[in-house]
Amino acid sequence: MFSGQEMTTQLIQVGISHVIWVPDSTLGAWETAFSESEDLELVQVCREGEAWAIAAGLWLGGAAPIVIMQCTGFFESGDSLRNAIHDYQIPLYGLIGYRSYLSSATLPGDTCLRFTEPVVDAWDVDTYFADTLEKRDGWQSHFKQCRKAGSPGLFLMAEGKA
Amino acid sequence: MLELPHVLTHIKEKRGEAFVFTTMGSAREWSKGEIQERDFMYIPSSMGQLPALALGFALAQPSQRVIAVNGDGCMLMNLGALVTISANAPKNLVLCVVNNGEYEVTGHQPTVAHSSRRVSGDISFSEIAKGAGWASTTTVYSVEDLDACDEILFHAAGPHFIELMVTPMTGDVSPRSPGPAAARAHALRELVLSVDLGYPG
């Protein structure tokens, strides 16, 4: 949905200081642009649960992080997310790649299609879902609404070949 | 072997302006004494995530010393964090692992790193950290060893990994709430934002 430069520009526009992430085959294409940006610090983690905790620590320290990961990593990292945004009420924002969504007609076997939306719903986070190209830029408004409200949020971004 | 209360008292007395992050047993014992505004007791936790939390804080506040006191059971739950931290190599972060060989708060069950659960002897967390790319690692067995660590614990540029061999606590080791979690988190951020601590953002 985005080139690396497009996403980098949008992250900087909303005031992000650090990107905490695990790349997947879609998100990974953004790495060069993230790395080359002088306005973003890129922190790559080994496993997704770390990402929410690092982001929480960054927020405690006054920074403005975003977490970026695939939905499979989101499944794995639920307890860390729960702890940060519900126990400590830290208003983290995450971009979650929705694996295979745009390939669902031709690749129906990926169980991410079955579990992603119910799991996102289960964590009770205000979520913006961009399931078409036309909706992609709306996440910035959602981010700003969450920041203004001091609440956490997710941008669920469809992945896959349409 | 060290006693956990001695370790924590040592840190309290010498930490200066350092931010100190504790969790599980160390947080329980830490909260029994005087609490400062630069203390963060990570209870409730997502067990295993203290090193990651402390890394984030250290990256956000590079001019501030950050001491994280983790447990061995917690460390086992997130060994990858050792690699993440060494990759970022924050000079202001010290990660301590108090190693009592057991899950204390759940009833003293040995961890899988304890020799009783293994055919190949104890696990060395310092060696794991060294293999994970930490340039500074040490294991502390005694009060004398601990005193000798003061330079790396409180002053020298890091990151430093310090494994502290402690005896398991006895008596009431149940979790102890340090107070409302969200209020403590937001108070720490407010403290950071209210004082110029050097964050460039």
Task: Give residue-wise pLDDT tens across range B129-147.
Answer: 999 999 999 999 999 999 9
**Residue B200 pLDDT more than 70?**
no
CATH of the domain at A138: 3.40.50.970
**Structure tokens of A92?**
């983290």
Q: Does A59 touch chain B if contact means CB atoms closer than 8 Å?
A: yes
Query: How far is CA B130 from each of CA B30, B140, B151, B152, B182, rounded to the nearest angstrom?
Result: 28, 15, 19, 16, 35
Q: Does A61 touch chain B if contact means CB atoms closer than 8 Å?
A: yes
Closest-CA residue to B28 (of B92, B98, B93): B98
Contacts for A32 with CB less than 8 Å, ≥ 6 apart: A4
Residues from chain B that touch A58, judged by Cβ atoms under 8 A, are 56-57, 59-60
Q: For tokens 């997710």, name the residue.
A: A154
Inter-chain contact B59–A41, Cβ cutoff 8 Å?
Answer: yes
Cβ–Cβ under 8 Å, residues A62 and A122: no
Inter-chain contact B53–A53, Cβ cutoff 8 Å?
Answer: yes
Q: What angle do the packed helices A48-60 and B80-88 form, to 10 degrees?
A: 50
Rounded mean pLDDT, B90-94: 98
d(CA A70, CA A131): 15
Query: Which of A41, A50, A62 is the closest to B80 by Cβ?
Result: A50
Do strands B102-103 and B109-110 pair parallel, antiparallel, or not at all (unpaired)? antiparallel
Q: Structural domain tally of chain A?
A: 1
Closest-CA residue to B136 (of B153, B119, B148, B122): B153
Q: What is the pLDDT of residue A28?
A: 95
Q: How confident is the model at residue B198 (pLDDT cuts 50, 70, 90)?
A: low
Q: Does A91 touch chain B if contact means CB atoms closer than 8 Å?
A: no
3-state secondary structure of A44: strand
Query: Which of A44, A63, A83 is the closest to B46 by Cβ?
Result: A83
Domains and CATH numbers, chain B: 4-193 (3.40.50.970)
Q: What is the pTM of this model?
A: 0.96
Cβ–Cβ under 8 Å, residues B31 and B176: yes
**Residue B197 pLDDT more than 80?**
no
d(CA B67, CA B93): 6
Q: Does B87 touch chain A if contact means CB atoms closer than 8 Å?
A: yes
Q: What are phi and psi of A50, to 5 degrees?
A: -60, -35
pLDDT tens sequence across A4-13: 999 999 999 9
d(CA A116, CA A74): 9
Q: Write the DSSP string, chain B.
A: -B-HHHHHHHHHHH-TT-EEEEEHHHHHHHTTS---TTEEEE-S--TT-HHHHHHHHHHH-TTS-EEEEEEHHHHHTTTHHHHHHHHH--TTEEEEEEE-SEETTTT-EEPTTSGGG-SS----HHHHHHHTT-SEEEEE-SHHHHHHTHHHHHTS-S-EEEEEEBPPP-S--S----S-HHHHHHHHHHHHHHS------
Q: For tokens 């969450």, name the residue.
A: A146
Q: What is the pLDDT of residue A162?
A: 45
Domain carrying residue A73: 4-158
Interface test with B, best of A12, A16, A45, A50 (most B CBs within 10 A): A50
Q: Does A89 touch chain B if contact means CB atoms closer than 8 Å?
A: yes
The residue of chain B nearest to residue A85, with distances taken between CA atoms, is: B182
Rounded mean pLDDT, B54-73: 98
Q: Which residue ranges in chain A fall short of pLDDT 50? A: 162
Cβ–Cβ under 8 Å, residues B17 and B92: no
Query: Which of B50, B84, B181 is the closest to A46 by Cβ?
Result: B84
Q: What is the pLDDT of residue A161?
A: 64
**Residue B201 pLDDT more than 50?**
no
Residues from chain B that touch A152, judged by Cβ atoms under 8 A, are none
Inter-chain contact B197–A62, Cβ cutoff 8 Å?
Answer: yes
Inter-chain contact A80–B88, Cβ cutoff 8 Å?
Answer: no
Sign of the alpha-carbon dihedral angle for B14, B16, B22, B25:
positive
Does ipTM surpass 0.90 in this model?
yes
pLDDT tens sequence across B2-32: 999 999 999 999 999 999 999 999 999 999 9
Residues from chain A that touch B87, judged by Cβ atoms under 8 A, are 44
pLDDT tens sequence across A46-79: 999 999 999 999 999 999 999 999 999 999 999 9
